[in-house]
Amino acid sequence: MMVDGLAAFNRRWGRMPAAVRRAVQEAMETGARETVEAMNGRTPIPEIIVAWTWGNAPAGSVTLAAADAPDSVGDLRITIYATAVIGSGSFPAIARWFEFGTSERHKKTGQYTGRITASPFFYPTWRSYQRRVKSRLSRAMGKAIRSL
């Protein structure tokens, strides 16, 4: 004896992973864009640039955070990274120096060159946006499932 509507159920069930993956991917992109925009607005010097990418950060940048989608969705991974563009090249350590600060620095001559006081721009922003991003992901998953 076969259950009524089993074929329709199986069709919907088969479409679910792709729909949920698309919805989560869009939600992750939106969250990353908003978070990066806020972080760039809080950087202590204009040379520090915060950006995001799918997968790993580009060579020569400092990865300050990475977020994976829930295991049920697959291998989606967004990385938010920072680098500092100075002249024609990039010097990613500067972003870390300003986020966490440095101790007193001395030249080899023994001359004191100062300290960089921590001016966190990355983690405080992420902490304030984290709940919003996670909620957006949950809503997107639920909406994708309900829409099938």
Give the tens place of pLDDT for each residue, 29-81. Answer: 999 999 999 999 999 988 888 999 888 887 767 776 666 665 555 567 888 88
Between the two ends of the chain, the Cα-to-Cα distance in Å is 26
Mean pLDDT within 15-28:
84
> Above 80 in pLDDT, residue 148?
no
Q: In percent, how much of the chain has pLDDT > 70? A: 78
Residue 3: its pLDDT value, please? Answer: 61
3-state secondary structure of 147: helix
Cβ–Cβ contacts within 10 Å for residue 7, how many? 10
- The upper half-sphere exposure of residue 32, i.e. CA atoms within 13 Å in the direction of its Cβ, equals 23
> Above 90 in pLDDT, residue 86?
no
To the question of pTM greater than 0.85 for the whole model, the response is: no
